[in-house]
Amino acid sequence: MRIHDQKLQTSGCRLFLPLLFLFLMPGFHCSADPGIQGLEGKTWAVRMAESIMARRPGKYDKWDYVTGTVLKGFEEVWRITGDSRYYEYIKSTLDAVVREDGTIEGYDVKEYNIDEVQQGRMLLFLYKETGEEKYKKAAARVRSQLDTHPRIRQGGFWHKKIYPEQMWLDGLYMGQPFYAEYAAMFGDSDSFDDVVKQFMLIEENLRDAETGLYYHAWDESRQMFWADPETGLSQCFWGRGLGWYMMAMVDVLDHLPEDHVGRELLIGSLRGLAKTLKAYQDEETGLWWQVLDQGGRKNNYPEGSASAMFVYALAKAIRMDYIDASYLPVVEKGFRGLTTDLMYKDSLGHYNLLRICRSAGLGGNYRDKIRDGSYGYYVNIEPIIPNDGKGTGPFLAACVEVERLAAE
């Protein structure tokens, strides 16, 4: 590994599937792990949420997809605990940037950055909870971006204005759950076809038939230096890219009408992806690799954010009956890997999720890095850090989903 991992020493606590959910529940202690002995019966979701708030008191951060991803995790923790502190943390973060007229500090529709749509989900959440018009106005402003956002010839949203004619896996999570929820809330039924179309374009253009995995990105023009001149595809199967995509699938299904033909299409794709992920899960750790199909290759590493995303999506898919219970062992192994191999309790009593790729993109000279989509780029160039919100947000959501499974 490229970083020194300090972690909870729980190797002696190997849980069988029926005991998985005890690992979450108040009062459970593992005698092999002195670090867990002082947890005061808190679930993993609460431990991490409290640690995040301790590190970032008052509010999380600016308007940004990372902020939105973390706050979505806080929403799930609030729903399962009823603790108003988590709700207030969401509200204070948004109130720092959302004005009474619906304008949002740090957000510009004309940038046409699909990432910036993601946090709109929290506007919808607060509007439903409070009825305050400023959240509705702000959500409408975000929704207006999708009316004029540039698209490829086939109709898919560009990832960003600065990345023309490209679709990235990331973009499906950034745009489609908000798009679908907004349509459901405000009776825009015509938009559901467009939401489903975005996924079908990914299936058509980015899925590799041989492995069942999905390439990180696709350039319709075939002009970008990272794109294969014949297919337009990038080179690698990046873990977090596919994690964003799978989370988008299970979250969009929350809002897609039961009688919409797209439901069966998405569920079919989700089942195929679940089968693929089971095959690529690391046998020893239960985690998933930064470059998914290159496990054990030099400098590759089991990555925290992708693993949290897959555990969340698979657990939710089981609970919602999109996939069957045969995937419970996959969830168990993944969750155990997250909470043992990648968790560290520091001297302040805060919990830290380790081994998260800070960022990975394609194209241009970014932060003095040539983002060419090669294997070397993904494993050698981008720093590996703890507690990045792209990992901690999905970790919160994964913990809650596993806890919900335990309650059923």
Catalytic site residues? Answer: 170
- Amino acid occupying residue 183: A
Cβ-Cβ contacts under 8 Å for 55 (sequence gap 6 or more) = 350, 387
- The 8-class DSSP code of residue 102 comes to S
3-state helix, strand, coil in the chain (%, to 5): 50, 10, 40
- The 8-class DSSP code of residue 367 comes to T
Residue for token pair 């489903």: 196
Q: DSSP per residue over 163-196, as a string?
A: BTTEEETHHHHHHHHHHHHHHHHTT-TTHHHHHH
Using the CB atoms, write b or e for 95-132: b if 16+ within 10 Å: eebbeeebebeebebeebbbbbbbbbbbbbbbbeeeee
285 φ, ψ (degrees, to nearest 5): -95, -20
Residue for token pair 């001297």: 347
**Distance (Å, whole) CA 104 – CA 102:** 6
Number of CB atoms found within 10 A of residue 188's CB: 14
Residue for token pair 């302040």: 348
Number of CB atoms found within 10 A of residue 393's CB: 29
- Amino acid occupying residue 289: W
**Distance (Å, whole) CA 303 – CA 285:** 11
